[in-house]
């Protein structure tokens, strides 16, 4: 039995205590963050964390992110906190930034995917922060079945996990829409492992140049040092095709593809920043912030509408566009058409 805890109208301390008690007891609780919904368990409880992997069907070598509510909690998880971590935390926490640091022995290897590092962030959502304060540091990947689009509404979590976890906190829609940016500070040079809700340009203003891991642009890796690096992610049931290139040529190519797929009897869905004559259309919005917020919802919604193929408009890789394109390319299995 899964209880759905309604907090759409705001934080309810009584309900938070109930959910916090479930975390302390080793149960699984899905909760909203500013990025996407997370599937949470006590990060230091090995048995509870294993249940996350079982519920999601997640490979054991795919590390989890530990969510904290106070900077001092970082000292309980990381054995070293370099100056770059302090600078970034001071500037961007709470917020969509995850830092990878050398882990303390107290952090179970199951939480870190067998690595000697731990990924940590402080979410900027009042419900998430209150839940952590009512319990303990919480390990929480996105609250979706592994490989499916991440959830930005409680309804998405219900679709994937109702009857399989103890509780889902419904805090309404998330407002960033893509997961946190992950920066590795455990080695000699800061490295971007996953683009996300905090643009790389903002991070470099604080700590200087950051290397970009080849996995960000799609190169295969054997070792995942952060979530989203190694495995198939974000994919709906319908195949996704991404069209990239100059805006005017992208429009022409999408129109050509719509006609081509329809001629084969396919029901076509399009997700883009301007309208198209397709069987189903999802407007992503006008700005990169809009596109990021609506991205996963669009993939799930077009699936729900029963399309046979999804054509997605590519965006420029600046600011949040780097995270959007990282997710779209993974969702498509790198089925990319250059216009």
State which residues form the domain around 212. 3-217
Cα separation, 255 vs 271, in Å, equals 12
8 and 62 share a domain? yes
pLDDT of residue 235: 86
Is the pLDDT score of 270 beyond 80?
Answer: yes
For the chain, what is the domain count? 2
DSSP annotation of 104 reads P
- Domain of residue 294, CATH code: 3.40.50.11030
**Residues comprising the binding site for ATP?**
58, 62, 117, 150, 194, 234
Cα separation, 99 vs 183, in Å, equals 5
Domain boundary among 178, 202, 217: 217
State the residue for tokens 């054995």: 79
Domain assignment present for residue 233? The answer is no
pLDDT of residue 219: 66
54 and 149 share a domain? yes
User: What pLDDT band is residue 232 in, cutting at 50, 70 and 90?
Assistant: low
Is the pLDDT score of 301 beyond 60?
Answer: yes
**Residues comprising the binding site for L-threonine?**
35, 67, 121, 140, 142, 180
**Residues comprising the binding site?**
35, 58, 62, 67, 117, 121, 140, 142, 150, 180, 194, 234
Q: What's the pLDDT tens digit per position in 248-262?
A: 899 999 999 999 999
274 and 165 share a domain? no
CA quadruple 235, 239, 245, 248: dihedral sign: negative
Cα separation, 113 vs 226, in Å, equals 9
Domain assignment present for residue 226? The answer is no
- Cβ pair 311, 257 in contact under 8 A: yes
95 and 201 share a domain? yes
204 and 268 share a domain? no
Q: What's the pLDDT tens digit per position in 172-208?
A: 999 999 999 999 999 889 999 999 999 999 999 999 9
């Amino acid at each position: 039995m899964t209880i759905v805890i309604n907090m759409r109208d705001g934080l309810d301390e009584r309900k938070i205590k109930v959910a916090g008690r479930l975390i302390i007891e080793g149960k699984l609780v899905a909760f909203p963050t500013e990025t996407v919904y997370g599937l949470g368990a006590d990060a230091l409880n090995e048995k509870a964390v294993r249940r996350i992997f079982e519920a999601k069907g997640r490979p054991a070598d795919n590390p989890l992110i530990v969510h904290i509510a106070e900077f001092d909690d970082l000292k309980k998880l990381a054995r070293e906190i370099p100056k770059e971590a302090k600078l970034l935390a001071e500037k961007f926490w709470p917020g969509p930034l995850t830092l990878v640091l050398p882990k303390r022995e107290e952090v179970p290897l199951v939480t870190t995917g067998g690595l000697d590092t731990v990924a940590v962030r402080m979410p900027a959502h009042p419900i998430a922060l209150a839940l952590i304060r009512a319990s303990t540091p919480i390990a929480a990947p996105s609250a979706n079945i592994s490989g499916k689009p991440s959830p930005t509404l409680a309804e998405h979590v219900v679709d994937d996990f109702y009857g399989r976890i103890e509780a889902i906190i419904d805090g309404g829609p998330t407002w960033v829409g893509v997961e946190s940016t992950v920066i590795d500070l455990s080695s000699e040079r800061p490295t971007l492992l996953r683009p996300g809700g905090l643009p790389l340009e903002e991070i470099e203003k604080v700590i200087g140049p950051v290397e970009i891991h080849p996995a960000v642009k799609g190169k295969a890796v054997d070792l995942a040092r952060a979530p989203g690096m190694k495995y198939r992610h974000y994919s709906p049931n319908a195949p996704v095709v991404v069209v990239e290139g100059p805006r005017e040529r992208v429009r022409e190519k999408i129109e050509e593809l719509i006609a081509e797929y329809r001629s084969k009897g396919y029901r076509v869905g399009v997700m883009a920043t301007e309208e198209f004559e397709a069987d189903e259309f999802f407007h992503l919005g006008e700005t990169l912030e809009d596109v990021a917020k609506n991205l996963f919802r669009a993939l799930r919604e077009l699936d729900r509408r029963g399309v046979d193929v999804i054509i997605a408009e590519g965006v420029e890789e600046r600011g949040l566009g780097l995270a959007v394109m990282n997710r779209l390319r993974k969702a498509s299995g790198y089925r990319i058409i250059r216009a």
